[in-house]
Amino acid sequence: MAGSDDTRPQYHIATELVHMDSDNVKDNYNAASVPIYQTATFKQTQADGTGGEYDYSRSGNPTRTAVEAHMAKIMRAERAFVVSTGMTALDVILRLVKSGQEIIAGDDLYGGTNRLLTYVSQYNGVKVHNVDTTQPEKVAERLDPVKTRLVLLESPTNPLIKIADIRTIASKVHEQCPAALVVVDNTMMSPLLQNTLELGADIEYHSGTKYLSGHHDLMAGVIGCKTAQVADQLYFVINSNGSGLGAFDSWLLLRGVKTLAIRMDKQQANAEQIAEFLEAQGLKVHYPGLKSHPQYELHRSLASGPGAVLSFETGDVGVSERIVESARLWGISVSFGCVNSLISMPCKMSHASIPAEIRKQRHLPEDLIRLCVGIEHVDDLVSDLANALRKAGITVKQ
Ligand SMILES: *Cc1c(COP(=O)(O)O)cnc(C)c1O
């Protein structure tokens, strides 16, 4: 395990998030906060251009190394990388796929993921199969021991909050296609609630823009690898294309991630109450913390909590629009994971890049409202939502 010595105990993740191993940061002055090495180059001592631990920030930078070692420890990864955005993380991983090889991915994917997969299928000669990953046999049907290179999963999916049985799928993939890699976008859960490397994934990645940083003040991507071999391949790409995260954003990410546990615990507790409130209004709510979720037990077997993103249907696009526009505390915004609560209509915003007919095929309801719950007082969030429902013509039972 990177960034820790083998003799010290393994602490709870809430502790690990705050505690940085001192061997992770070599600083002459024992700075309490990791310094920002805002430099492109590092001086060498030898005439042949060697002698320093770092030479050029595209290849490596001490601030970036500190957050990478910290993330590797938290994700229980052999090695982790931080790159410029969540989509960059996926782009780096997709470079492991050669023309003629195949990717199996879900059918309720993040909009940007869908866009990038469409690109590689159009330009790079890579076939992408979109299947319903809530049914492991649908993934198994597409596995090809020669061609399958990546199996890309999200769980819970966004915005329909469907659960993929990562454990079962990973073992089927490894059994039938030893050369294929199981990749999980774990952004929705964060490493606090779900550890996909332990569930059998080979690579886990995150949009660090969301829960890891928590304040919507930076963009970042994080990749954790199970083996050194895969890590070496990904490092080669990052060093080649210069996608590594800059020093200042690395520092911001490190500062943000220390409070992940306290933020997520509060956001999740708020989300649980809001989901119950909405369900009590007779609305169709998608949230794995509700017993009514069809995969409630499966999710509990994979993750230690339901997270803080939920969605619900009103049955009418106009009613949904009025709710979204009447909410005052809930900001109309794409994205999630911020300390502020956000509301959006995925089909009009984050998922608008998926063509309407494909949205329909994938059963993405046009009236769907997504809530990304923040750390505000829950009573204020509920009453603001109740007011918005009333303004849209819904009778509210308190
Ligand atoms: C936001 C997001 C991404 C993309 O991350 P960026 O940092 O915006 O590039 C990928 N996957 C999921 C699930 C996301 O929510």
Domains of the chain (ranges; CATH) run 13-257 (3.40.640.10), 261-391 (3.90.1150.10)
- Mean predicted lDDT score pLDDT of the chain: 94
Nearest to 358 by CA among 29, 25, 111, 21: 111
Element (H or E) spanning 210, and its range? none
- From ligand 1's centre to the CA of 391, what distance in Å? 32
Give yes or no for a contact between 278 and 397, defined as CB atoms under 8 angstroms apart. no
Report, as an integer, the average pLDDT of 80-101.
98
Amino acid 5: pLDDT: 55
Question: What is the percent of the chain with per-residue pLDDT over 90, rounded to a whole number?
Answer: 84
Task: Report the pLDDT value the prediction gives residue 6, as an integer from 0 to 100.
Answer: 62
CA of 188 to the centre of ligand 1 (A): 9
Residue 240 amino acid letter:
S
Indicate the pLDDT class of residue 397, thresholds 50, 70 and 90: confident
pLDDT tens per residue, range 259-315: 999 999 999 999 999 999 999 999 999 999 999 999 999 999 999 999 999 999 999
Do 212 and 221 touch, CB atoms closer than 8 A?
no
Angle (nearest 5°) at CA 294 between 109 and 200: 55
Kindly tell me if the per-residue pLDDT of 2 is higher than 60: no
Contact 250, 67 (CB under 8 A): yes
In DSSP notation, 229-289 reads HHHHHHHHHHHHHT-BPPHHHHHHHHHHHTTHHHHHHHHHHHHHHHHHHHHHTT-EEE-TT
CA geometry: angle at 211 spanning 207 and 212, to 5°? 70
Instruction: State the catalytic residues.
Output: 58, 110, 185, 210
pLDDT, residue 3, reads: 45
Instruction: Compute, in angstroms, the gap from residue 207 CA to the centroid of ligand 1.
Output: 5
Banded pLDDT at 170 (limits 50, 70, 90): very high
CA distance 143 to 312: 33
> Where are the extended beta strands (E) located within 278-377?
284-286, 309-313, 331-332, 342-344, 369-372
Asked whether residue 362 carries a pLDDT value surpassing 60, the answer given is yes
User: Whose Cα sits closest to atom 7 in ligand 1?
Assistant: 86
**345-363 mean pLDDT:** 82
* CB distance 252 to 217 below 8 Å: yes
Are β-strands 102-105 and 148-154 bridged in parallel, bridged antiparallel, or unpaired? parallel
Q: Which residues line ligand 1 (CB under 6 A)?
A: 85-87, 110, 112-113, 154, 158, 185, 187-188, 207, 209-210, 219, 221
Rounded distance, CA 388 to CA 394, Å?
Answer: 9
